[in-house]
Amino acid sequence: MLNIEPIKLLKGSHADTAQTGQGCFMNVIAYLNGEPQITDQSPCVCVTVRPLAIRLNDTADDEQRQRLLPFVMRAMGSATKDKTIFDARFARLRQYGAECKKVLNTAKAALAKFPKADAYAYAYAKAYADAYAYADADAKAKAQIKAIADGVRHDLFEAGLRYLDDVLPPAEPVGVDVIARAQKLVELAAA
């Protein structure tokens, strides 16, 4: 399998991926796929995968985001018109949604003991924002709220990785064009 680990995934869209060797999950795919425009709408990625990959990429911290790299090559070519495959992926996406709801409900219950904090930290958990900082709580409570919210962030990210691992096919051998483009990104990322 082609190793693209030196490539650094970044938050947000980066049309300059070909010049920097860096970009978001979907920008790297568009570049490796040889698409004329670097966007987050590559038609080679399944519609059940694309929005979640974008969300995971953009809500993850830098360390987490790099854990998405192995999925780049697996997501390329995952678009399908096969109803059986699509239905299975969609069913697994509903399971992922149920997992997320359970994580968020657990967090909401844990945050219930902090007056005013649960709504803010729940919003943090859902949107991965630093809303816990707005809670009217002492430093110890803020630390507890942050720990709960960070745990939720971690659990939601892990659930997303499980979804990608479950629905994406193994990476297939790639052509010389993809290898050449990947080598260019690796060189640029290492510079």
Encode pLDDT of 113-131 as tens digits. 766 555 555 555 554 434 4
Are residues 162 and 118 part of one domain?
Answer: yes
pLDDT confidence of 5, banded at 50, 70, 90? low
The amino acid sitting at 109 is: A
Judgement on whether residues 134 and 181 belong to the same structural domain of the protein? no
Based on the domain organization, do 87 and 159 belong to the same domain?
A: yes
If we measure between CA atoms, which residue out of 153, 161, 182, 150 comes closest to residue 34?
Answer: 182
Average pLDDT over residues 52-77: 92
CA atoms within 13 A on the CB side of 189: 18
Q: Give the pLDDT confidence score for residue 133 in this predicted structure.
A: 45
Domain that holds residue 39: 1-78+169-191
- What the block records as the tokens of 150 is 């960070």
Residues 100 and 154 in one domain: yes
Co-location of 33 and 74 in the same domain: yes
At residue 21 the predicted structure's pLDDT band, cuts being 50, 70 and 90, is: confident
CB-based contacts of 61, cutoff 8 Å, min separation 6:
none
Instruction: In whole angstroms, give the CA distance from residue 38 to residue 17.
Output: 7
Say if residue 90 is in the same domain as residue 16.
Answer: no
User: 123-154: per-residue pLDDT in tens?
Assistant: 555 544 344 444 444 566 777 778 888 898 89
Q: Residue 158's pLDDT is what?
A: 96
Position of tokens 């691992």? 165
Does residue 117 share a domain with residue 63? no
- The Cα diameter of the chain in Å comes to 59
Q: How far apart (Å, rounded) are the C-alpha atoms in residues 10 and 58?
A: 8
* Separation in Å, CA 162 to CA 39, 67, 140, 149: 25, 12, 33, 20
What's the domain count of the chain? 2
Cα torsion 121, 127, 128, 129: sign: negative
Residue 159: per-residue pLDDT? 95
Residues 36 and 91 grouped into a single domain: no
For residues 107 and 135, state if they share a domain: yes
pLDDT at 186 over 70: yes
Q: Are residues 162 and 188 in the same domain?
A: no
Same domain, 161 and 174: no
Query: Tell me, what's the pLDDT at 136?
Result: 46
- Residue 22, SS3 per DSSP: strand
Shared domain check, 162 and 176: no
